[in-house]
Structure 1
Amino acid sequence: MQPALLFIPDISGFTRFIEASDNPQAPFLIADLLEILIEANTLDMEVSEIQGDAILFYRLGPPPPVQELVAQCRRIFLDFQNYLRLVERDNSSALGAALRTHDLTLKIVVHYGRVNVAHIREFTKLMGRDVIVVHRLLKNNIMGGEYLLLSEGYLKTQSLTDLTRSFSWTRLLGGKTTYEYLGDINYRYAHLTPLRLLLNGHHTPDGAPSGRGNSLKVRHTMRVPAAYAFRLVRNLRLRYVWLEGATAVHYDLSKADRLGVSYKVDVNKGQIDFQTVQSFQGEERIEYVEKISHFRLFPNSLLFFFIEAVDEHSCLITLDFRYGYVASPSSLIRYGQLRRVHRFWGRSLRNLVALGERMANKVSK
């Protein structure tokens, strides 16, 4: 038996949403959300299993300090909710309408105990009483579906002072549930709703935005019509030509012009995963959004393209790179990565502008 942290984020409202929305895209959205949860892992946990709407993470060894655990829960909740907000704002989408009607949110259950780790072919299976406990704790007496639950097993590893300090933003309440064969299990829990004040685009009661989160922007004018620039941005075949350091792009040709398509770009010695998420064409501005995975130290990031017509023959392009956090404990590394990524997008945009103007000139001759 080995000591282990057991951590389960569970999507509340999953079954109701799948059944009531009756949308063929709903299962794909849930898959995207589960991927968001996995990429938001800041505690170096391993995935044991995915069960429909929940993921069992584990980490062998001593428990993390409660400050780090709360930071992990905050990160996973914000990344989850920010992605939902992005989908919800599409007024023309049936999926967006379904989300506005059937609220999806997150509950997180944390337990610390002892487990047996069994390797069955390519799978890792956790076994033991504490694995049963953490799963049973998903069914409890807590009202609502948006909370963090800390079991007594984890609470015993932390000091009362650290617990109080880490939950200054909400109330830490006591609870107990009786389970067949397991008996009474005590826990404490905190509602995560106050964290919604930190979401991107949140508006305060007086209507003023409270902040847009972490964002890096670069912009440049391009001497081509806005519609031409938009076609260029969406052309996956040309992505490696203008993305700085890229050498190749991989995608399914039969799905290249659809929203939701995923593609990979070879950049330097690694690979970046992109997924097209949204596209809006308004009278004054065109907007195109992609989700980025496996991008250096910026998990769960989004790339917004804003294209605004200057006149009939030119436009202004803004690349807005939005990220939740920089995955490094070192402030020096975080600062260096932000500068490096800002240069990366700046050079990429200049490459895009040069490519677009060069192609437009060839067409006009």
Structure 2
Amino acid sequence: MEKSILFLPDISGFTEFVEETEVNHSQHVIAELLEILIESNIAGMELAEIEGDALFFYSEESIPSQEILLAQITNMFTAFYSHLDLFRENRICPCNACAKAPDLKLKIIAHCGEVEHIVVNGKRKPFGRKVIEAHRLLKNTVKDDSYALLTKELAQEVDLSFYYFSKVFHFKEGENEYDGKNLEYIYSLIDPLKLNLKPVPTVKTFVPDKSPNLHLQRQMNRSAAKLLSLIMDFSIRPQWVKGVDRFIFDGNEVNRVGTQHLCVINGKNLSFTTIKKAVEPSQLVYGEHTTDASPFKQYYQIYIITPISDIDCKLEVEVYWTMKWSIFGRILEPLVKRKVRGNILESLELLDAI
């Protein structure tokens, strides 16, 4: 029987969350990152299992070359930390989970050996002593949370020096005892600054060049952070936004600057993008922009939340637009303004009642 590679990327850094929103957002963040890691599997390994915050890959009776193995590890770390930069730059939500997301770490454990298989629910999965050893190695004495760890057995199989050194890697030796047996390995701490991280797409802050076409405000009976989480949550939108048939969005993604969703109005899909606008440091802000909403050429709706107490806040809604047709638009605009105002006022009533 030929040896197989066992490859486990594991995300660490989240503590327990109490608030329901933080639990939901932590799950969304982890789901996004796991998808990023799966997409960065350039070595063609099989995904055996998603194990909470970790993935279990393997290649049956196949071990990639040293070059491919190191490229695979580098690619995963680069994709992971590039996505964390995206979280950091485009975050809107102030919850603990979203605030801590950029501090997450990745470790990768890689082992090899002869692997047996079992069938569970019709799916064939790796099984046996080598699989257990690989999972045991997730708990080790490496004093960091961002590292690549390869067993010496795997390093010897790919002819990798125990002291291999490059821009990204600086391997050292280590060992730990598991079930009365010593497992020897080499490991390298991974510094994100030494990776060629992808640049974060520039997202411009909305800077209005005029006063809002509409400005409404209302005191809301909930904390500023809770109100923002309700406004940002597309799954709750149908309960309070008037005039929209339904919302289409990615339920596994945390809403942040650049996030897109569709509003279905009278059977027509309107694409909205999350934006940001500069406000006072004590205020929270959330905004959306579309060019699809007739009769508007541009339409911006901004929610600005000012804390009053732990259980109250002031919500201001600023709406900016330009009309598509210069002459006809000016004639139509007073009617459109009354309609938009009425929908927003009714929506705020429903939002406050949730």
Contact 1:151 1:186 in 2 (8 A): yes
The Cα offsets for residues 173-228 of structure 1, whole Å up to 9 and x where unpaired, read as 000111114x011100000115555334xxxxxxxxxxx37x8x9xxxxxxx9x99
Structure 1 SS opposite 2:324: helix
Corresponding residue for residue 168 of structure 2: 169
In the TM superposition, residue 253 of structure 1 has moved relative to its aligned partner by: 2.9
Contact 2:155 2:161 in 1 (8 A): no
Q: Which residue of 2 aligns with 1:52?
A: 52
Letter in 1 for 2:99: A
Aligned-partner SS, 1:148: strand
Deviation at 1:128, TM superposition (A): 1.1
Partner of 2:184: 186
TM-score (normalised: structure 1):
0.55
> What runs of 5+ residues in structure 2 fail to find an aligned partner?
203-209, 214-244, 263-271, 280-285, 292-296, 300-321, 333-354
Deviation string 1:85-144 (CA, Å, 9 cap, x unpaired) is: 2222325532576317x8311000001111112233332221111001100111111111
Aligned to 1:65: 65
* Pairing partner for 1:198 from 191, 196, 199: 196
The alpha carbon displacement at 1:39 in A equals: 1.2
Specify the SS of the correspondent of 2:138.
coil
Is 1:42 equivalent to 2:42 in the alignment?
A: yes
Residue 61 of structure 1 deviates from its aligned partner by: 2.9
Counterpart of 1:93? Answer: 94
For 2:276, the equivalent position in structure 1 comes to: 280
The aligned amino acid for 2:114 is R
**Residue type of the alignment partner of 1:186:** E
Deviations for 1:311-356, whole angstroms, at most 9, x for unmatched residues?
xx889xxxxxxxxxxxxxxxxxxxxxxxxxxxxxxxxxxxxxxxxx
What is the alpha-carbon distance in structure 2 between the residues aligned to residue 120 and residue 314 of structure 1?
Answer: 54
Is the Cα–Cα contact under 8 Å of residues 167 and 194 in structure 2 kept in the other structure?
no
Preserved contact between residue 67 and residue 162 of structure 1 (Cα < 8 Å): no
Report the CA distance shift for 1:361/1:85 in structure 2 as closer, same or farther (over 3 A): same
In 2, distance between residues paired with 1:277 and 1:40?
26
In structure 1, C-alpha distance between the alignment counterparts of 2:109 and 2:273, rounded to whole Å: 30
Please list, as runs of the form range in 1=range in 2, the aligned pairs for 1:315-326 lying within 5 A after superposition. none
CA distances 1:261-303 after superposition (whole Å, capped 9, x unpaired): 79999xxxxxxxxxx99532359xxx999xxxxxxxxxxxxxx
CA drift of 1:37 comes to: 1.2
* 1:146 equivalent in structure 2: 146
Q: Quick one: distance in 2 between partners of 1:20 and 1:69?
A: 40
Count residues in correspondence: 249
User: Where does residue 130 of structure 1 map in the other structure?
Assistant: 130
- Which structure has greater helix proportion? 1
For 2:324, the equivalent position in structure 1 comes to 360
Residue in 1 aligned with 2:9?
A: 9
The whole-number CA distance in structure 1 between the counterparts of 2:187 and 2:13 is: 19
Query: How far apart, CA to CA, are the structure 2 residues paired with 1:32 and 1:96?
Result: 13
Could you say what secondary structure the match of 2:99 adopts? helix
CA distance in 1, matches of 2:28, 2:114: 35
Contact 2:78 2:195 in 1 (8 A): no
| Structure 2 CA distance for aligned equivalents of residues 314 and 133 of structure 1 | 58
SS of residue in 2 equivalent to 1:73: helix
CA drift of 1:81 comes to 1.5
Q: Which residue of structure 2 lines up, in the alignment, with residue 324 of structure 1? A: none
- List runs of 5+ in structure 1 lacking aligned partners: 201-211, 218-224, 229-251, 266-275, 290-304, 308-312, 316-356
Amino acid at match of 1:108: I
Aligned-residue CA RMSD in angstroms? 4.6
What is the rounded CA distance, in whole Å, between the counterparts of 1:156 and 1:56 in structure 2?
22
Partner of 2:68, secondary structure, is: helix
Distance 2:261 2:276 in 1: 23
Report the equivalent of 1:253. 246
Structure 2: which amino acid aligns with 1:179?
Answer: Y
User: For 1:33, what is the secondary structure of its paired residue?
Assistant: helix
Q: C-alpha separation between the residues in 2 aligned to 1:260 and 1:44?
A: 29
User: Paired residue for 1:78?
Assistant: 78
Q: Secondary structure at the match of 1:189?
A: strand
Distance 2:248 2:84 in 1: 23
Partner residue, 1:353 = none
Quick check: 2:115–2:128 contact (8 Å CA) kept in 1? Answer: yes
- Tell me the residue number matched to 1:110: 110
State the SS of the aligned residue for 2:124. strand
Aligned equivalents of 1:6 and 1:96: distance in 2?
30
